[in-house]
Amino acid sequence: MNYEKKCFALHRRFNDDGYATRTTIEQMRVEKSIEHRYDVYFENDSDDDESVLKIILFRAEHIEYLKNGLFKPLDHHFYVLDTSRSWMVYWISLSLNLLGESDYLKKSLQIISFLRNCESPHGGYGGGPNQEPHLAATYAAVNAIVTIGNDIAFNSLNRVAIEKFLRRMQQPNGSFTLHESGEVDIRGAYCALSVAKLLHIPTYPESDLFHGTADWILSCQTYEGGFGAAPGHEAHGGYTFCGVAALALLDQLDRCDFDALMHWTANRQLSFEGGFSGRTNKLVDGCYSFWNGAVLPILQSWRVGKNQMVSLDRWLFDQEALQEYVLICCQNHPGGGLVDKPGKNRDFYHTCYTLSGLSIAQNSFNSRIVIGVSDNLVEPIHPVFNIPCQSLEALREYLKRKDNQEELK
């Protein structure tokens, strides 16, 4: 990094004004570790163009890490993840697709077989075989199946049973429990809506499914502008994504405090680190590359749809800075896999959502912005569903054929 650029970056560091707290001390420690990562990349380089070419996506290493994890039994140390196995299939499948391994996934009939074993006879999917159905696990399983992207995978989806499950989870006020007698939060509403919209299950106002849901979600927006898990909860990046995506799917996004939402989300991108944090005064975390990174494209897409003036060439965040954070600070392990921040352990969750955020940062309406070498480009995703655009198009064509066949009977 040249002298002028480094000086500019240092001016963006956190300033505690001489009043140290546990929070400020941790923030400064993280900034120091990130500064070290940038120094490793750009040490002794005076030419920015040459420095940028050192930024490389370790594609082969990530693919090997993901493929090893897809069919490997859980280590006994990770038995607590047994209820998240459908999620891990989704995280790994999406990551492989983003890295260009879609053909590999289409040949993996074991994935479909495993997810069928997670399906409840009463509709919906559990986190693993013979487990109770759960809305989050159902979202993960459906997204994994759609990500595979062929008719064999699509044929495994039982839309009738899934609709019945969604109706059982719906509450009178429009919210959704995540499982029978389970907790209610904004994740349930989003997961249910995403699944219903993907599978062409009729929703409000065509049916009473999701009646009142928009009103309940709007009650989760906070004074800051983001959305909390439930009414009265703190604004959070993951819950904000769920609220924004759900309102977009319901065509009700204009009912929220749009300006406050954009302001809160844009301010989650940290000026020194380049990545996003999940809440006000919290540390950077690679997974929010998607959770927050997807919100602004959804808002911009909404305004484009309403014929409002908005940029078609760039998202409303620093796309280059986010890519630098993902590629320089989140690729710590020589064996592949991405992390939350320097010094953290790799896992499939952060690998998935940092790659999803990387995809969003690279692909806008009318342009591609790719830092480093051209091979850093990953596949585009749909920001509302977090599935590959190509897979989504294949599903829509499949359902169109399926619905036409049903009409001819």
SS3 327: helix
Tens-place pLDDT, residues 176-199: 999 999 999 999 999 999 999 999
The predicted pLDDT at position 246 comes to: 98
The predicted pLDDT at position 51 comes to: 61
Active site residue 279: yes
Q: What is the mean pLDDT of the chain?
A: 91
At residue 355, does pLDDT exceed 80?
Answer: yes
Per annotation, catalytic residue among 38, 239, 340, 352: 340
Taking CA atoms, 21 is separated from 10, 48, 176, 277, 323, in Å, by 21, 36, 39, 18, 30
What's the longest Cα–Cα distance across the chain?
A: 75
Active site residue 236: yes
Per annotation, catalytic residue among 54, 159, 200, 282: 282
Q: Which of 302, 298, 301, 296 is nearest to 276 (CA)?
A: 296
pTM summary value: 0.93
Name the token pair of 135: 């809305």
Active site residue 350: yes
Which band of pLDDT confidence, cut at 50, 70 and 90, is reported for residue 344?
A: very high
Name the token pair of 222: 């906070």
Per annotation, catalytic residue among 288, 325, 353, 398: 288
Active site residue 67: no
The predicted pLDDT at position 257 comes to: 97
Per annotation, catalytic residue among 242, 350, 353, 382: 350
Burial degree of 169 (CB within 10 A; 0-12, 13-18, 19+): buried
More confident residue, 63 or 402: 63
d(CA 278, CA 269): 9
Answer whether 227's CB lies under 8 Å from 240's CB.
yes
d(CA 131, CA 37): 43
Q: Is the peptide bond before 129 cis (omega within 30 degrees of 0)?
A: no
N- to C-terminal Cα separation, the chain: 66
DSSP 157-219: --HHHHHHHHHHHB-TTS-BBSSTT--B-HHHHHHHHHHHHHTT---TTTSSTTTTHHHHHHT
DSSP 349-369: HHHHHHHHHHHHHHB-SS-B-
Average pLDDT over residues 7-16: 65
Q: What percent of the chain has pLDDT over 90?
A: 76
Active site residue 288: yes
Active site residue 285: yes
Which residues have CB under 8 Å from 132's CB, separation 6+? Answer: 120, 126, 179, 180
Average pLDDT over residues 332-350: 94
Q: What percent of the chain has pLDDT over 70?
A: 91
Average pLDDT over residues 375-386: 97
At residue 6, does pLDDT exceed 80?
Answer: no
Q: Which of 18-27, 39-48, 131-140, 154-163 is predicted with the least confidence, judged by mean pLDDT?
A: 39-48
Average pLDDT over residues 289-316: 87
Active site residue 200: no
Q: Which residue has the tokens 């909404």?
A: 302
Provide the 10 A C-beta neighbour count for residue 204. Answer: 16
The predicted pLDDT at position 1 comes to: 46
Which band of pLDDT confidence, cut at 50, 70 and 90, is reported for residue 309?
A: low
Per annotation, catalytic residue among 118, 242, 287, 329: 287
Q: Which of 172, 176, 170, 138 is nearest to 157 (CA)?
A: 138
Per annotation, catalytic residue among 85, 197, 268, 279: 279
Which band of pLDDT confidence, cut at 50, 70 and 90, is reported for residue 45?
A: low
d(CA 91, CA 144): 8
Average pLDDT over residues 354-375: 94
Tens-place pLDDT, residues 186-242: 999 999 999 999 999 999 889 999 999 999 999 999 999 999 999 999 999 999 999
The predicted pLDDT at position 143 comes to: 98
Per annotation, catalytic residue among 62, 329, 347, 353: 347
At residue 3, does pLDDT exceed 50?
Answer: no
Answer whether 376's CB lies under 8 Å from 55's CB.
yes
The predicted pLDDT at position 359 comes to: 98
The predicted pLDDT at position 11 comes to: 58
Per annotation, catalytic residue among 62, 197, 268, 285: 285
